[in-house]
Structure formats: C-alpha cells, structure tokens
Amino acid sequence: MKKKLGFWSIVLLAVNSIIGSGIFLSPGAVVKLAGTKTIYIYIIAAIFATVLAITFAAAAKYVSHSGAAYIYAKAGFGENIGLYVGVTRYIASCIAWGVMATAVSKTILLILKRNPDNFMSTTSTIALIMLFVLIINVLGPVFFKFINNLATICKILVLVIFILFGLWYVMTSHVNLFSTIDTLTDANGQALIAKSNSTSLVMALLSAFYAFTGFESVASGADDMDNPEKNLPLAIPLSIAIIAVIYVCVIAVSMVANPSALVESKQVVALVSVFNQPIVQNLILYGALISMLGINVAASFHSPRILESMAIQGQLPKFFCKRTKGDVPLVAFLVTAIISIVLPMTFQYDMTSIIVLSSISRFIQFLVVPVCVIKFFFKKGDTSLINQVTTNKYTDIIAPVLSLIMTVALLIKFDWSGQFTISNGTTTNPNWFAISAMIVGYLFIPFAVIAFNFKNKEGKENA
C-alpha cells in the first residue's frame, strides 16, 4: 500500500476487529451461565485473551509477513501444516464474516421494521453490505483507514456513553440489583440462572471470550502496516487492555441496573433492554449497528489477505495476489465475499451449527501459534521467513506456555457433545449440519488443497 497503517491506526483496527456483536448481543447468555460470577468470567476471559494476544504479537515480531496464523505455522512447521492452518483459518474467517454480515442484515431489517427471518431480504441486504465494504476498499487505503478509525471511535463512544448513563442511573435512583441475580426467575417461576458447575462456567468463559476474539486476525495484513514487527507487538495487547476495561464496566453497570432485562431480552441487541430510556435505547441500537458494520469493514481487510498470503507464498494460484492500482487484492476480495455470502445461505442463516467451525478453527490456531513462537525463540523454523529479533523469555516462552495450558484446559472442558447434537425435549439427535461442516471444513477442503498444491509442485519440478 502506498500509505500504510501506522501504530494508532493498527490499534484502532485491532479494537474494530474485536468489538463487534459479542458485547452487544451475548452478555445475557454469559449471565445465565455464570450468574454473579459473570464479572469474574469476563476478567478471566480478558486475561486469557491478553496472554494469547501477547503470544500472537510475539509471533508477529518474528514473522512480519501477511497471513497471521498461516504464515506463522508455515514458518514453524513447513508448507503442509502451514497450508492446513491457512485453509481452515480462511474458511473460518469467511464464516465469521458471513455471520457478522448476517447480524448487520438482521439488525437493519429490524430497524426498517421488516422481517429479519425472510431469506430473500436477508440475502439481498448481505449482498449490499458486501458491496458497501468493497467500495470502501476500492477507494483506497486512506479512505479505508478513515472509515475504520471512524467506526472504531463511534463504537467506543457508544459503549462509554452506556457506562456513564448507567453510573448516573444507579447513583440517582439508588438501584442495586446485583445480589438478586442468582435468584432470578421467569414469569412461570422457572430459574433463569443455571446452577454453577465447571462445565457451565467454562461455557460461560467461552461465550465471554468470544467477545474478545478478532485479535488473531489483525496481523493478516501485516504487509500493509508500517513496521509490523515493532508496532503489532505493542498494538495488539494495548487494544485488548482498552477493550477489557470497557467490557467489564458495561457488564457491571448492566448487572447492577437491570440484570433480569439483560437475561430475558428478546431484542437482537441485548443491551437495548437494560434501560427504558428511548434515547439511550436508540443510541445503543444504532451504536451496535455501527459496531457490526465496522467489524465487517475490518473483516474485509483481514479475510481476503489470508487468501492473498497463501498465493504470495506460492501455495495458491498467483492471480489471488494481484492488486488493483488502488492496492486492493480485488480477486481475493471478491472470492472471499462470495464464500462469505454462500456459507450462511447454505445453512439458511441458522448460525448455531456453522459457528462451531469458526470456534474450532480458533482452537487450532491457539495450539499451533504458541508452539511456533517457542520454536522461533530457539531459532528453529524457516529462516527465510523469520526475522532476527531480540528475544524475550516472558513473551516468547512464558506467555506461549500459559496459552497452551489454558487452551488445553478449555478443550478438555468444552461441551463437545452439545455442539454436535440437537436436543428436542427428551430426545437428543446428532446435529448433521455441524458434523458435515466439520468433515468438509477440516478434512475434505484442506486436504484437497494440500494434495493439489503437492501435485502442482511436483509437476513444476518434473518440468
């Protein structure tokens, strides 16, 4: 890019990549699982995200090329494992973008008082969203940076206003409903808060952690950033710290002011239900829309560059890394946008099954990247990709080891059966959509690409 992203633009890109639908849509689900322990759950999720962010930042220090987890895996473990991580990460990135575009679409349709469950309305709105972010990219890096920074500042401002109004409301009305959370019941007298056990708390932690994800994609466009080996290791942890403070304050205010509304909300944007003040409700609703549009803009930057990175490394056809005069990887963008539209369509916009793919892809990255960083510290891996940098045992050894321990612990406690089964009252049946998505996304497609790449390479060597 003729004008690359500087340090503060990288920080804002990271914040924009992380603050999306999670904090606006899902806090009620976390409260249902963790009750009064929710604040601690968000703090632990923030710590986990920070440790992982430091690990990914350390990887970005050693390998400053675009591709994030893909290029780190390639540098650490070679072409095949790198390509497997790259393909699965790319599929998951397309899924994530599709899910975010769907969330924006449904929110827009609700604002326009249209049916958000209408297939054609949702599809056409998603197509318009993709066109919108394409225009932002095509207009060049300066305009992209402006829109990204503006969206990020707007979403932070909305959340800060929510916190300030909540503090004013609590202090002036002398309301404190925090102690009632664990005893909340619905209209029929049924308990709204689950009894705490290790499994429910882990699932609550994963739901809270989902609101912090996105940092792992920031380095996907490292080649389009100024001094990525210096700026990324500082920008990623800083963005997590900023977000953690905002999230904990939002959750604390909500749980003190109106926890039952947060848990029982039927709104797409759960935070809208916390306060009955129409101006604040509209502010949160439109703020959530801006937030989700902003994260679509961030996804339009990250996702195509994973595909482009694999092409730059010679593992996919070169036409994927061709750029326009405005320095946009147009072919990679169009292919990624089409896949991101088609995947949610295939599942009739029912995100429950397809999100499993995205979640498991993150687990793969959180296992592979820490090991790569440890290898880089001991000067092992592809020296043509690894920078000669100053090593640090805290960021390059201790943080990756902690990342591995925490990821393995979550994997052990993860509700695997719940992700691949559907419960209908007293019967439990396999979730064939989720199972099929796993087989196609994690076995068929990546191994087909690896086989194609191997055959293509063998053909070039014979020629």
Nearest Cα residue to 58 out of 394, 415, 440, 410: 394
User: In which band, very low, low, confident or very high, does the pLDDT at 354 lie, cut at 50, 70 and 90?
Assistant: low
Fold assignment, 7-413: Amino acid/polyamine transporter I (1.20.1740)
Local structure of 421: helix, strand or coil: strand
The DSSP code for 444 is I
Output the pLDDT for position 454.
82
What does the alpha-carbon distance between residue 449 and residue 21 come to, in Å, rounded to a whole number? Answer: 32
Confidence band of 375 (pLDDT split at 50, 70, 90): very high
Q: CA–CA distance from 186 to each of 139, 195, 255 (Å)?
A: 51, 15, 17
- What SS3 class is residue 422? strand
Give tens-digit pLDDT for 212-227.
Answer: 877 777 777 777 888 8
A 10 A CB-CB count for 187 gives: 6
Residue 310 or residue 95, greater confidence: 310
Question: Residue 389: which residues within 8 A CB-CB, separation 6 or more?
Answer: 61, 62, 229
How many other CB atoms sit within 10 Å of the CB of residue 269? 22
User: How much is the pTM?
Assistant: 0.81
Residue 362 and residue 92 in contact, taking contact as beta carbons nearer than 8 Å: yes
Higher local confidence (pLDDT), 363 or 373:
373
Q: Structural domain boundaries of the chain?
A: 7-413
Confirm if 342 and 352 have CB atoms less than 8 A apart.
Answer: no
Confidence of residue 148 (pLDDT cuts 50, 70, 90): confident
Q: What is the pLDDT of residue 331?
A: 92
> Buried b / exposed e across 63-88, counting CB within 10 Å, b at 16+?
bbbbbbbbbbbbbbbebbebbbbbbb
Burial class of residue 359 (count of CB atoms within 10 Å of its CB; 0-12, 13-18, 19+): middle
More confident residue, 355 or 267: 267
